[in-house]
Every structure is written in structure tokens, then in C-alpha cells.
Amino acid sequence: MDETTDCDFLSTDEIQAFLPGFRLEPEPLRATAMSRVYLASDERLHDRKVVVKIMAEYLSEVPGFRKRFLREIELMADLEHPHIMYVIAAAGKKDRLLYFVMPRAEADLQTRLAAGALGPKETARVITQVASALDFAHARGVVHRDVKPANILFGAEDHVYLSDFGVARPALGEDLTQAGDAIGTRRYTAPEVYGASRSERPGADDPHDRSGDVYSLGAVLFHCLTGERPFHQVDDFSVAQLQSEGAVPRIAEIRPELPPEFDAIAAKAMSPDRARRYRTCGELAAAFSRTVARIDAENGHLARRPSRRRHLATAAALVAGLVLGGVLSYQVFGTEASAPYGVAEGSVDTAAFAAVTGDDQVERAPAVGECLTSDERYVVVACDSPAAARRVYRIVTDPEDPNPQQPEHEDAAWQACGSDVIEFDYRWADSAKREEREWNPETDRIYYFVCYQEL
């Protein structure tokens, strides 16, 4: 769902006027409500291939966005390291157009992992390079706070770059995230970083703060070895409790051919206790690389194999365990005016739920991975039922709203649902909808998005 309009962005010809020396392709490579990405050539350096990212004009007027954008550019300019993506050109403090130009990457880790898990040796090579970049930034008082596969890029000959310092925090600088902002990406971000209020977040000069990046690198390690995000089968609400309990998913459950030593490394890196994690990212990378080398020497080559998706029985067992523990994916819709729009308050039994089978239909809030009919209500059906029309692939609670003036929340929905999904639909609840009145951008908030894909 791309709701961008021409008035949100300058035309390609107008952009060219701001960027002499860079020849842009006529059409953007990627477009969202917040930005457009163009392939381009640097005419000053023999048509070197580059990428130009242009932000929507309205974002330059969103409180704090311009400042955060320019601060990211400053951070990346100061962090000169072989494995940190560098900026070739960027907007200045007084420029009307917010943009930056970077070298063109060959691919990113998220795209590669969509094709399957990496082998242990390849994983060690990636993790080692990212760890080098993070430890370099930490030594200079900068913590990244959003390490994930989408921010790990590959250049020529698979040289690894760490990118996107948009929510990074320098030791002596201002935290430009706003009160109520969620830092990072749920499944990769340490619980004390993602879930803390602004006043509770550790500072970059706190030696424990870098442990949040250690946690994230451990989550990336898990994804590389399994081909799945940590806590892949559960929704964001349940992830929070599992993270705080230290319930790190086991690599061996997804790839039983891998040695159990890998589980111990991931569990240490992703411990809910910051003091129990590896002290640095390099220490984590070294522990994993030594283990790979030792096991490879003892048992022969650890072959690369595609990730194996968990069977439905395994997923059902995980859901059952969450039910027994009182952690239901649809508890985000429970009391306190948070039931889904179209489902009456108190009509959802949050004590337990049974998976639907065959052609059965149940009217209740959905969980991630379940399928729904085309009904405006939340009617859950088995995904192989003829009545199944859409699948829930993400539920995002308390999302950040990049454009609070917009009552239909298209920009926030794209940010919550569509960063890695081309075609999607969504429903939401906000305080104005609940009270059946007009949206007030100054005082109202969005409770959640339920993100769908048509079957």
C-alpha cells in the first residue's frame, strides 16, 4: 500500500537541480510514504554507481525529524571504519531537501536470509565484520540501538557494511528519540532498550549500554543460522514477555544438525541480564568463530543447508505454551479500550483459545500467522479453509506515527506493516476511533495496527 502523492516529493527534475553531479534514474527504485530511493551515477567520478535517498518534504517540518536526520549524517561522517557504510554527500542544515548519497550495495542480509539460513562459516564472517564496526563505534561513545539484518549491507566481494544510525546515541549528545518512541526493532532489540521509557534508557556513556548492541548481534546470529527471526512464531506482545523471561529460542529446534554449542552462545548474547552477556561484540564474534573452527576441525565441514520451517505441530506447541503461561497474542486487544474495532469489549475470551481447523470459524481477535475471512469483523478461520481471505503477518502495538496530522495513519501503517512487505492491508484502533470522534493529532494516539496480506 503506497499512498505517496506527487505533492509529497519533488519531481525528479527538481531533485536533479539540488544534486548537480549525480544523474538519477527517471523512476525511483523504491517508494514509500516517507522516502524514495533512486539509483544514480556520480558523474564526477566516472559514473560511479550510487544510491540517493530522498525524504518526503513534509518530514522536514515534523518536530525532531530534521534534527534526527542530520544527526545521523554527522554520526556516519565521524565514524570512518571499513565496515561502517559511509556517506558521499548529504543535506546541510539549511537545505530544503533532506537527502543522502551512499555507495550502491550489492544486497542486504535480510534479502539473503529470505532465501534460507547461512552456513556457520559464512555466519561467522558476517558477524565478525559487524562486530568490528560496532566495537569501533562503542569505543567512540556511539551505540547503534537498531542492529538487524536490513541494516547489514554487502558491497563488492561480499564486504560487509553496517548502516542506519538513525536511532544511535552518542555519549555526549542529546537523545533525539521522543518520549514514547520505541527504540530499535522488537525481535532484535534488547528488552531494556526497546521497552524502557526515555528516562530509564541507559546512556551511551554507561558501559552496560553497549550490551544492547551485543544482544542485537546475538539475535542476528540466531537469524543467520536458522533463517528465521528470533521468536518468529509469536506476536510482538508475547515477544516482550519471552525476552524478559530469558526464553531464547533454540537454534537446534530449527536446525537440529547444528551443534548445541551454538545455542549456548546465542543464549549468553541474548540474556535478559545485561551483566551476563558478552562484554563486547568482538567477544561474541570471537567465541562463535572459535566454536565453528573447533567443530569444523573435529567433525568435518559444516555444510550450508536451507532453513527448515517449523511444522505446524511445533508452532501449535509454542502457542499452547504461551496460553498456559497467560501470554496471548491478542492480549493487546484486551481491556482498557483496546479491543479490535468491530469486536465488542469483553467479547474476547483471553483465558485461552483453540486453533481453528477445517471450515470452523471463530469470532475473536487474531494472532500473528492466523487467517481471517473477508468479513469486517475479526473472524478467524483455518488458513486452508475456502473462507480464508487474508493472513495476519504482524501486530504492532503503540506504533510511532511519523505524520500525526494524518487521521487515516497511512504513513504510520507503512512504517509498521510495510517496511518489508510490498502489498498489504491493515486495520487499526486509535483513541479517536474508540470514542467515535474526530482525530486530534495533538492528544490522540494509535493503539495498534493489525497487518494483513491477501491470500
Measuring CA to CA, how many Å separate 177 from each of 68, 181, 369?
A: 8, 6, 31
In angstroms, the CA 426 to CA 281 distance is 37
CB atoms within 10 A of CB 194: 24
The CA-based dihedral angle spanning residues 141, 278, 242, 395, taken in that order and rounded to the nearest 10 degrees:
40
To the query of whether residue 164 is one of the catalytic residues in this protein, the response is no
Q: What is the 3-state secondary structure (H, E, C) of the chain?
A: CCCCCHHHCCCHHHHHHHCCCEEECCCCCEECCCEEEEEEEEHHHCCEEEEEEEECHHHHHCCCHHHHHHHHHHHHHHCCCCCECCCCEECCCCCCCCEEEEECCCEEHHHHHHCCCCCHHHHHHHHHHHHHHHHHHHHCCEECCCCCHHHEEECHHHCEEECCCCCCEECCCCCCCCCCCCCCCHHHCCHHHHCCCHHHCCCCCCCCCHHHHHHHHHHHHHHHHHCCCCCCCCCHHHHHHHHHCCCCCCHHHHCCCCCCHHHHHHHHHCCCCHHHCCCCHHHHHHHHHHHHHHHHHHHCCCCCCCCCCCCHHHHHHHHHHHHHCCCCHHHHHCCCCCCCCCCCCCCCCCCCCCCCCCCCEEECCCCCCCEECCCCCCEEECCCCCCCCEEEEEEEECCCCCCCCCCCCHHHHHHHHCCCCCCCEEEEEEHHHHCCCCCCCCCCCEEEEEEEEEC
Catalytic residue among 146, 209, 235, 263: 146
Q: What angle do CA 427, 430, 436 make, to 5 degrees?
A: 100
Catalytic residues: 146
